[in-house]
Amino acid sequence: MAIKTLISLGTGILAGIWLMAMGVSYAILWGMLAFFLNYIPNIGSIIAAIPAVILALIQFGIIKAAVVGVGYLVINTLMGSVIEPRFMGKELGLSTLVVFLSLLFWGWVLGPIGMLLSVPLTMMAKIALDNREETRWIAILLGPDLSSRNRRRAVREDDAETEAASAGNL
């Protein structure tokens, strides 16, 4: 949830800045709406864009409204399809591809609720698969082993301490 909140905050801020730059009235309100509705998978971003685009159409005409819509499209594509899967995968030990595919799979199986729960459900599956020797290879395919990631971090910290100690002796 923390990662989703940060991604939603980024989406809301970028949308608000984009609308301010375009001169659309109530840009902060539309940015806050983008933040809150970004929690709803897939359609939340679309719903958040509709009132801002309609207001831009009323205020400025069809061309500027289209530019506002393209800005929303770029922001939501960048945040939802590039940045969010990368951070989710890095923090949770899942590859970016697995996060994206789990979003599609759980969305197909359980609908919108499955999309919202896709990463936790995939993590549960990974943990369950990792506990049995016969299925551990599937868990490894889902992403790096968290225990091996912690071992690598400990080795890097030991190397940094050794390097600092040797620099202090010179």
Decide which of 92, 113, 146 is a domain's last residue. Answer: 92
CB 71 within 8 A of CB 22: yes
Q: What is the pLDDT of residue 29?
A: 93
**What's the mean per-residue pLDDT of the chain?**
80
Structural contact between residues 135 and 129, judged by C-beta atoms closer than 8 angstroms? yes
Question: Within this chain, do residues 28 and 56 fall inside the same structural domain, yes or no?
Answer: yes
Q: 34-63: per-residue pLDDT in tens?
A: 898 887 766 778 888 899 999 999 999 999
Q: Which of 13-27, 107-121, 143-157 has the lowest mean pLDDT?
A: 143-157
Look at residues 60, 92, 124 and tell me which one is the last residue of a structural domain: 92
Q: Are 25 and 59 in contact (CB under 8 A)?
A: yes
The reported pLDDT for the residue numbered 150 is: 47
Same domain? 40 vs 83: yes
Which band of pLDDT confidence, cut at 50, 70 and 90, is reported for residue 142? confident
Question: In the structure, how many helices (H) and strands (E) does the chain have?
Answer: 10, 0
**Whether residue 102 is found in the same domain as residue 54:** no
Q: 71 or 96, which is more confident?
A: 71
pLDDT given for residue 151 in this prediction: 46
pTM assigned to the model: 0.59
Nearest one of 88, 155, 149, 147 to 122, comparing CA atoms: 88
pLDDT digits (tens, 9 = 90+) for 99-133: 778 888 888 898 877 877 777 888 888 888 888 88
Q: How many CB atoms lie within 10 A of CB 146?
A: 14
Give the domain range for residue 49.
1-92
Instruction: State whether 65 and 102 are in the same domain.
Output: no
* Domain identity same for 76 and 106: no
